[in-house]
Amino acid sequence: MIPFLALIFLLISKIFCASVFPEQVHISLGEDAAAMVVTWVTFEKNYKVGTSDGWSKQFQFKTFPAGNNFKFRVCVFGDLGYHFGNSIPDLMKAAKNDLFDMIIHVGDIAYDLHKTDDDGVNIGDKYMRELEPIFSRFPYMVIAGNHENDKLNFSHFHNRFRMPGEVNGHHNNQYYSYNVGSAHFFGVSTEDYGYREEYGNAPILAQYNWLTNDLQETNKNRVIRPWIIGYQHRPFYCSNTECPIDAEPLIRIGDNNGIPGLEPAFIQNKIDLQFCGHRHSYERFYPIANLVAYGNDSSGNAYHNAAAPTYITVGTAGCHSSKTPFGSPHPASAFRSDDWGYTIMTIYNHTHINLYQWSVDQQKNIDNIWITKDFGH
């Protein structure tokens, strides 16, 4: 059964009152008449969901501080299956130890949300039940991968999740943005391109118009919110025996028949970082634009005041597929590993971001870098 979100909870504790007991409960209409906003006042970030027919157990979450200058940590991964979900035990432990504050899943969720298992139970339901201890506590931000295409316009992906701006359902969770502290985050669909035969060109054009406008608006506030961090499922760039450096030219630069690519918007609007999945390996690139890498010649720190966006593929969370076969790395590739795992990104402030890649196989960090910039860069 596809769960349907009927209630939106809004906590206003920090603004108004120091009560530990929920009080002043009231409701109002959401953007969509099928949703309801429930507002109350309390310091306690505890919640239950349910009806008179039954209630869930009590869950907890924390809200982020107000303002745009606080440290927070993001767990990023792609390609996580219910079966062969190699990173799940470590993710559970990391969540229990409070090693991150939010999650970004860059597509390919559960393998597959819409499929039924051998025992007749839906795999998406199993996956969401198993990971409920994490997803009920930390914001779980998702973007569609190719495995979310259920031939019904991503209906499971659309109905199970509500990404920002999705309350009125105008873009099916396929693209959206939001701000956390000093960072602007945006998610975009590469599946608009991957399934254009099925769904036509209109979704590509709508997303492109939205993206360029969103990034231009964001740049107007770059002084107070300097980081622009995006995510998508299929990477432009990869370097292994299954793919050349230019993995998805149509998505990267479009074609001559009016299909726009995403990379020019990323370059023009000076995005800092773009996370991808799809390839079941970890790969960090030097800053790169139009197939040209910057700073891969030992001339200095490529990631300080970077000349181009940095792409990191992290389709390593774990699924049915065997590990990615690596050949010689492309000169633009800074680090690769086929270990299962996930990335933890810490945004410290307006000038410093740290990333490390946790290897489930080796039980240690295998890559650790800083991305830095001067004020106003």
- In terms of CB distance, is 146 or 155 closer to Fe ion? 146
Tell which residue, 289, 274, 277, 375, has the closest CA to residue 321.
277
CB of 184 to Fe ion, least distance (A): 25
- In terms of CB distance, is 248 or 272 closer to Fe ion? 248
DSSP reduced 3-state for 343:
strand
Rounded-to-5 percentages of helix, strand, coil across the chain: 20, 30, 50
CB of 116 to Fe ion, least distance (A): 20
Q: Would you state the structure tokens that stand for residue 86, as one six-digit string?
A: 């190699």
CB 374 within 8 A of CB 351: yes
Residues lying near Fe ion in the complex (CB under 5 A) are found at 108, 145-146, 278
- In terms of CB distance, is 146 or 153 closer to Fe ion? 146
CB 6 within 8 A of CB 38: no
- Is residue 118 reached through a cis peptide bond, with omega within 30 degrees of 0 on the bond before it? no
CB of 106 to Fe ion, least distance (A): 9
If DSSP states are collapsed to H, E and C, what string results for 177-243?
A: EEEECCEEEEECCCHHHHCHHHHCCHHHHHHHHHHHHHHHHHHCCCCCCCEEEEECCCCCECCECCE
Task: Give the residue carrying structure tokens 């020019």.
Answer: 264
CB of 313 to Fe ion, least distance (A): 11
CB 211 within 8 A of CB 189: no
Q: Would you state the structure tokens that stand for residue 336, as one six-digit string?
A: 């690769």
- In terms of CB distance, is 84 or 348 closer to Fe ion? 84
Residue sitting closest to Fe ion (CB): 278
CB of 108 to Fe ion, least distance (A): 4
- In terms of CB distance, is 145 or 254 closer to Fe ion? 145
CB of 171 to Fe ion, least distance (A): 20
CB of 280 to Fe ion, least distance (A): 9
Q: Would you state the structure tokens that stand for residue 335, as one six-digit string?
A: 């680090």
**Spatial distance between the Cα atoms of 287 and 296, rounded to a whole number of angstroms:** 8
- In terms of CB distance, is 49 or 250 closer to Fe ion? 250
- In terms of CB distance, is 151 or 220 closer to Fe ion? 151
